[in-house]
Amino acid sequence: MSDLMTVTSSANRYEIAAQEDRSAPRTRLAIPASLRASGTRSFQTVVHDLSLSGFSAASVNRMHPGSLCWLTLPGLESLQAEVVWWQNSLVGCGFSNLLSPIVHDNVLSRWRGDGVFRTVA
């Protein structure tokens, strides 16, 4: 029984720390994307915020904390993440590997509408 209590208290500490110490700045935006939970088919979603370490997105279907998922943003390969929370049709996930700052900045430039794009001649 004490092992179960240790696992439960560790999970609770992680959830508290994740909410209190979200060290990577998050940017609010609306990016059309697809999201696939482990063992299911992908579905269309909208990413509402994005950071180097994770994202939140619309998810009508309940997603369970601890489960794996894959986010596909336009023009990028799928990014593996772990569900941290799900509430009121929104899911919050942490990337398995931090998003590259260059990729992050490029995504923000494109979807915030303040980026300057140049074609390569």
pLDDT at 116 > cutoff 50: no
Instruction: Of 4, 61, 53, give the one whose Cα is nearest residue 35.
Output: 61
- Going by pLDDT thresholds of 50, 70 and 90, the confidence category of residue 22 is low
The verdict on domain 24-112 having CATH code 2.60.120.10 is: no
Q: What's the pTM value of the predicted model, to 2 decimals?
A: 0.73
The 8 Å CB, 24+ separation contacts for 15-18 are 15/65, 15/84, 15/85, 18/84, 18/94
69-102 pLDDT, tens digit per residue, is: 999 999 999 999 999 999 999 999 999 999 999 9
Both tokens of 30, joined, read 């609306």
- Going by pLDDT thresholds of 50, 70 and 90, the confidence category of residue 120 is very low
Instruction: Of 44, 35, 33, give the one whose Cα is nearest residue 63.
Output: 35
Quote the pLDDT of residue 23.
Answer: 59
Name the percent of the chain lying above pLDDT 90: 62
47-73 pLDDT, tens digit per residue, is: 999 999 999 999 999 999 999 999 999
- How large is the average pLDDT for residues 8-16? 47
Report domain extents, the chain. Answer: 24-112
